[in-house]
A and B are shown apart, each in its own frame.
Chain A
Amino acid sequence: MNKILIVDDEPNILMSLEFLMRKENYDVFVARDGAEALDIISEEKPDVVVLDIMMPNVDGYEVCQSIKGNAITEHIKVIFLSARSKEEDIKKGYEIGADKYLTKPFSTRNLMKEIKALVN
């Protein structure tokens, strides 16, 4: 069973994504900010991290950098889910190693397809 970590500070978004992932039989973890996310990543080594960018304490960019900058975790796939839709934001996301960047609001169907592609 693939492990998926969802990181977002919006409870309702977390709730919807959690529902979708469980339905697809993923092993789901949730975090409400970057610091919490980093703890779970080092403990659980999820296969995919679905990551919001603008969060308190440690932001999404930093979480991604920490994942991709560490040999033990660099294989973890990262999907950014962000309300930041400017071109430079997206470019930055890919530059620091994201595997996918989706802008909010996104299609859940598309998201699930992307995750499926990444874990296979």
Chain B
Amino acid sequence: MAGWIIILISLGYLGLLFVLAHFMDKRARVGKHLIKYKWVYALGIPVYCTAWTYYGSVGNAVNDGWEFLTIYIGPLLTMPLWWIVMRKMIRICEVQRISTLPDLISLRYGKSLTISVLSSVLIVLGIIPYISIQLKSITNSYEILAYGAYQDSNMANLFLNDTAFYLSVILALFIILFVFRSIETTDKHFGMMGAIAIDSVVKLVAFIAVGVYVTYVLFNGFGDIFSQIDKETLGKFEHLPESSGIEWFFMLLLSMSAIMLLPRQFQVTVAENTNENHLKTAIWVFPLYLLLINIFVVPIAMGGKLLLPASIDPDSYVLAIPLMSNKEGLALFTFIGGFSAATGMIIVSTISLALILSNNVIVPVILKSLEGRNIYSSLPLRSRRLAVFGILILAYLYYKFIADRFPLASIGLISFAAIIQFAPAVLGALFWKDANKQGAMSGLIIGFVVWGYTLVIPTVIEVGLLPESLMHDGPFGIGWLRPESLFGSSLPFIAHGTLWSLFFNTLAFFAASIFTEQSGKERNQAELYVDIYQYSTKSAEKLVWKGEMVYQDLVKLAENLLGKDRMAEAIDNYRQRYGETHQDGVVDAKFVNYTERLLSGAVGSASAHLLISSMAKEDEIELKDVIVLLKETSETARLNEELQYKSSQLRRQADELEEANERLKNLDKEKDDFISTVTHEMRTPLTAIKAFVEIIQDNPEIEEQERSRFLGTINDEIDRMTRLINQVLDMEKLESGATTIASTTISPYQILNDSIKSLEHLILSKEIKLNQQFGDDVNSVEITGDEDRLKQVFINLISNAIKYASEEQPFITIQCETDQSALIISITDNGRGIKKENMTRIFEKFFQARDQTRKKPKGTGLGLSISKKIIELHKGTIEVTSEWQKGSTFIIRLPTSSYIQAIEEEYEQNFNSR
């Protein structure tokens, strides 16, 4: 096939991909995702399946049987952990505005720039070989398609005459033009995710197409292939070689860490996540994807072995089979599938590495050296673009000089082994509060040194850049230091390197963490990370930043980086969402956080944090400081935990105190109001009494009958005053706690009955129809309380019902029932009812729904509030339901003694078990 056609179609595919991505990005920014983002997100994760999967799996299957499956089984094994580990990472990154793995590590370990730079450099070193093999696979597949075989890698072809070089440049330009086009105020890249999701679909369909072609067109199904294949190849699938146990174990371990920690996986799974619940979709979509893409690996491997000459590299079977049968269209589609697998990986990896280098190395280092002088706004963008070129050129050179001599899989595994070095530091960050910076640093450094020595040096020796004697005799002739068999161990290459690097890494991480002290700052972050769910739901915003900053300074800083227009737009957004900004003075934490988030999009969280904190003195969270101080003197973790608990108690008590103070203040005002209301209420009966006394004094001539009527009225008004005084005193006693209610075992049902009896004559005299509905088992219900007080409540409520019942056909219903936990008593009248607006106020002191009492004798206005108080002292509740003009129902719930006891016991248990 002509080279230019292939190139044109590839470019066309890339172009189409980016146009689609650009379109999706635009839609997503205004919140109108073209398809639900959870699907895009779930299909982004298969960026895990690279050209290595696409071409290399078949090669691996031909050479080593089932071993190719290990790098898929590993991720599958981690799936149950995703909801625990990945969700925690996502939550931490969301709360702390983290968008890269070095951010995650450095923020946890003392916000240290050293560890941020160190881990960034190590990640880039570890991943460059991996990118290089993708370049290699694209180049190889192109050459197979164009020339029928790869050309010998020729140093004379370096740069200008080399497909791989042009490919690197084109990809770099695409990334710069489409992703790093401008500085954005968000760290989400919807366009990139869209492109990756499309890639995922294309590579899956293409691979399955080849698989179906081989299995069902060239052969008659799986059985046919298996029956034709030679014994030797079949043998590889019938039983595993004996040494494979160790090999498999390490492969699984490597791929388990890779799916969670590889920069591109971190990018798509953690940094690009917009909603934790999307993980739920990914958790089933991704395994399904892995299953589908692996179904045809073995048939293609066997088919290739059967149909193709032995001289053809198994890594190229996928492409060679359609070519051999002259299916050019299928071959081209297959090529595009592999191309999308490789470019997808290169794009996401390069973007994530460029973000890492720019956010965690270039910008912060320049910022530090600027020492507070103004940062120029093009810096973040330039450093990202520079990083993109740097990474792709390095990958190209690695490919040219080293990777071209090795099979795809082995280079990929060396990268996996690099990434697993981050596992102790990251898992420690998430789950172990005592892990510290020294531990993380020493683990990473030692791990990477051993990784380089056991896994990278041998490849360098093999291509002839180092003397071979090192391999056979060890450095300076020290035999037990030979790179491929440290301490005389003999293990497969990858297993050997992984074992020793991870062993020393973990050892150093734990030893240094245990034997050195954690700083106060670290302790804070440790708390925040490990207990993230506790903090993020409550006061994450406050915890992340406390301090003072002037509005103008902050806005100027942000304008510098984002540009005036974009910042103005962002401030508008802020106002719409949260309300005013404090233009002239000190801004609040919410605005600082908002701005820091904007800056994080532009320069990454490490630099954003550096910028913000350079402008203001940040206060540490004081409570935590106290703990740290005590920890340093006392040493024991146990005490530390106890202290934490106690201090949280202290905080609670402080809160309570403040509340109490507030209550007291209110109480004072309430008391004033109360006194003025009481005196007012007393003037009314006094007025009537005085008036009648004067009438009788001034009119000796009035008739005896009238005189005694007036005296009767005086008497009524005096009674009314007495009642008022008594109830005011009663209320006071109940409220101040001067009287405690008796706590004897009583039967409320009995008391209710007594109360009804004592009012019987009144009910009869008013010809009120009384309807009593009592449940069967209410007689046995007992509560702890005060008989006289409860009687007071019942009589008050029943008297009210009598008073307010309809005049024409008065009717009262008293119900009593139990639901095991409480006794429920309800008293209903058929009077005028209570208007909706008065329903909540009816229990207030001196609140009388005045329009109800027109022709009724007035009460004191305290009866219901006293009743409510008494019921509350019995841990019960009282409420009212009413329909205007239809009547009212008062419902009392009195919890039984056994229920209260059970609740208290449960509370105590919870309390003690903390």
* Contact in complex: B686, A12 (CB < 8 Å): no
* Contact in complex: B698, A16 (CB < 8 Å): no
* Contact in complex: B684, A108 (CB < 8 Å): no
* Contact in complex: A9, B854 (CB < 8 Å): yes
* Contact in complex: A105, B686 (CB < 8 Å): yes
Q: Which residue of A lies closest to B680 (CB)?
A: A83
Q: Which residue of A lies closest to B686 (CB)?
A: A105
* Contact in complex: A9, B850 (CB < 8 Å): yes
Q: Knowing A12-B713, A83-B683, A108-B694 touch, does A23 contact B688 (C-beta < 8 A)?
A: no
**Separation of A13 and B716 alpha carbons in the complex (Å):** 13
Is A57 among interface residues, defined by CB-CB distance under 8 A? yes
Is B373 among interface residues, defined by CB-CB distance under 8 A? no
Q: Knowing A13-B688, A13-B691 touch, does A56 contact B683 (C-beta < 8 A)?
A: no
* Contact in complex: B683, A16 (CB < 8 Å): no
Q: CB within 8 Å of A: which of B708-740? A: 710, 713, 716-717
**Separation of A19 and B691 alpha carbons in the complex (Å):** 10
Is B901 among interface residues, defined by CB-CB distance under 8 A? no
Q: CB within 8 Å of B: which of A13-30? A: 13, 15-17, 19-20, 23
Interface residues of A (CB under 8 A from B): 9-10, 12-13, 15-17, 19-20, 23, 32-33, 55-57, 81, 83-85, 103-109
Is B851 among interface residues, defined by CB-CB distance under 8 A? yes
* Contact in complex: A16, B688 (CB < 8 Å): yes
* Contact in complex: A16, B692 (CB < 8 Å): yes
Residues of chain B within 8 A (CB-CB) of A15 are 713
A-B pairs, top 7 by smallest CB distance, nearest first, are A16-B691, A83-B683, A56-B850, A12-B688, A104-B687, A105-B687, A105-B686
Q: CB within 8 Å of A: which of B660-715? A: 680, 683-684, 686-692, 694-695, 698-699, 710, 713
**Separation of A23 and B710 alpha carbons in the complex (Å):** 15
Q: Knowing A83-B683, A104-B683 touch, does A32 contact B691 (C-beta < 8 A)?
A: no
* Contact in complex: B717, A12 (CB < 8 Å): yes
* Contact in complex: A56, B851 (CB < 8 Å): yes
**Separation of A105 and B695 alpha carbons in the complex (Å):** 14
**Separation of A34 and B584 alpha carbons in the complex (Å):** 52
Shortest C-beta distance, A30 to chain B (Å), equals 13
* Contact in complex: B851, A17 (CB < 8 Å): no
Q: C-beta contact mask, B838-875 vs A, less than 8 Å → 1, else 0? A: 00000000000011001000100000000000000000
* Contact in complex: A10, B850 (CB < 8 Å): no
* Contact in complex: B688, A109 (CB < 8 Å): no
Residues of chain A within 8 A (CB-CB) of B858 are 10
**Separation of A24 and B114 alpha carbons in the complex (Å):** 103
Shortest C-beta distance, A106 to chain B (Å), equals 7
Q: Which residue of A lies closest to B858 (CB)?
A: A10
Residues of chain B within 8 A (CB-CB) of A13 are 684, 687-688, 691
**Separation of A96 and B684 alpha carbons in the complex (Å):** 24
Could you give 22 example pairs across A and B, Cβ below 8 Å? A12-B688, A13-B687, A16-B691, A16-B695, A16-B710, A16-B713, A19-B695, A56-B850, A56-B854, A57-B851, A83-B683, A83-B684, A83-B687, A85-B683, A103-B683, A104-B686, A105-B689, A106-B687, A106-B690, A107-B694, A108-B698, A109-B694
**Separation of A84 and B687 alpha carbons in the complex (Å):** 12
Q: Which residue of A lies closest to B854 (CB)?
A: A32
**Separation of A83 and B695 alpha carbons in the complex (Å):** 20
Shortest C-beta distance, A7 to chain B (Å), equals 14
Shortest C-beta distance, B535 to chain A (Å), equals 52
Residues of chain A within 8 A (CB-CB) of B689 are 105
Shortest C-beta distance, A50 to chain B (Å), equals 12
Q: Which residue of B lies closest to A110 (CB)?
A: B694
Residues of chain A within 8 A (CB-CB) of B710 are 16
Shortest C-beta distance, A101 to chain B (Å), equals 14
Q: A16-B695, A108-B695 are in contact. List 16 more A-B contacts (CB 8 A).
A: A10-B687, A12-B688, A12-B716, A15-B713, A16-B710, A16-B713, A17-B691, A32-B854, A56-B851, A81-B687, A83-B680, A84-B680, A104-B684, A104-B687, A105-B690, A107-B690
**Separation of A19 and B854 alpha carbons in the complex (Å):** 21
Residues of chain B within 8 A (CB-CB) of A19 are 695
* Contact in complex: B680, A108 (CB < 8 Å): no
Residues of chain B within 8 A (CB-CB) of A57 are 851
**Separation of A103 and B710 alpha carbons in the complex (Å):** 22
Residues of chain A within 8 A (CB-CB) of B687 are 10, 13, 81, 83, 104-106
Q: Which residue of B lies closest to A84 (CB)?
A: B680
Shortest C-beta distance, B687 to chain A (Å), equals 4
**Separation of A65 and B688 alpha carbons in the complex (Å):** 27
Residues of chain B within 8 A (CB-CB) of A16 are 688, 691-692, 695, 710, 713
Shortest C-beta distance, B689 to chain A (Å), equals 8
**Separation of A16 and B710 alpha carbons in the complex (Å):** 8
